[in-house]
Amino acid sequence: TRAAERDSLVYDLDWDEDARLDQWRSVLRQVQDLPAALQAIVVLDAWNDLSVLQHAPWLGRLLAASILRQTGVTTGAHLAAINLGLKTIPVDRRRHRDRETRLLAIAHGFLAAAEIGMKEHDRLALARKVMERKLAGRRTSSKLPELVELVIAKPLVSAGMVAKKLDVTPQAARRIVLELGLREMTGRGRFRAWGIV
């Protein structure tokens, strides 16, 4: 009984998540023939409107991104960062009473997420070109090309990560990072990390 008392403090016990999930699945079935982006927009709006899970509203954004990935609209390597785009849209538009206003707000959020993603892609492509210029004239056994690939793949790298990936000592990893000219991100003397700014 004590566990039930704690649950009532955290959860609304009258909240029927199973029924709400069934309603959401019904919406998902209804939109299956729509284009993928429209499916994701309608499904996300339904998730938010139905408040399917009391403590996981963020899951709807992941499910919408998963629909985009599954249908091939976005890359299969990762989920689209829908949340970044939605943060640029005012909350009153995203939670408006009028469904059409909400759907348009979500669509604008998707567009903003795509623009943010493309800017990040361009930034990383430029950073790769700058780092590859430093590879000119290096020995063929140099670990710098591998470090460039690691830094592009990971937003932040530590000496331990570099040492493990390149199969070098932590001291050699720090030296290679300095050779590449990565920026130290933590501002600390120990347990430092480097990345592309």
pLDDT in tens, 43-67: 999 999 998 887 788 899 999 999 8
One domain for residues 59 and 86: yes
Q: Which residues are within 8 A (CB) of 123 and not within 5 positions of it... i.e. 6 or more apart?
A: 196
Asked if residue 73 belongs to a domain, the reply is yes
Measured on CA atoms in the order 47, 53, 58, 60, is the torsion positive or negative?
Answer: negative
Sheet bearing 183-184, strands edge to edge: 156-158, 193-195, 183-184
The residue-averaged pLDDT of 139-157 equals 85
Q: Write down the pTM of the prediction.
A: 0.74
One domain for residues 8 and 56: yes
One domain for residues 87 and 142: no
Residue-wise pLDDT tens digits, 180-196: 888 888 877 777 888 88
